[in-house]
Structure 1
Amino acid sequence: MATATQTAKPSNGMDKSVKELEAQIAALKSDVSELTATLGKLGREAGTEARARASKAANTAKESAYSTAHAAGAQAREYYGQAEAQVRENPAAAVGIAAGVGFLAGLLFARK
Structure 2
Amino acid sequence: MAKFANHDEYIEAAPEQFHDLLVQLRARLAEALPDADEVIMYDMPGFGFGKDVVAGYAAFSNQCGLYVSKGAIAAHADEIAAAGLKATKTGVTFSAKKPIPDDLISKLALASREELGV
Q: TM-score, normalised by structure 2?
A: 0.19
Structure with higher strand content: 2
Structure with higher helix content: 1
Structure number with greater Rg is 1
Higher relative contact order (CA 8 A, sep 6+): 2
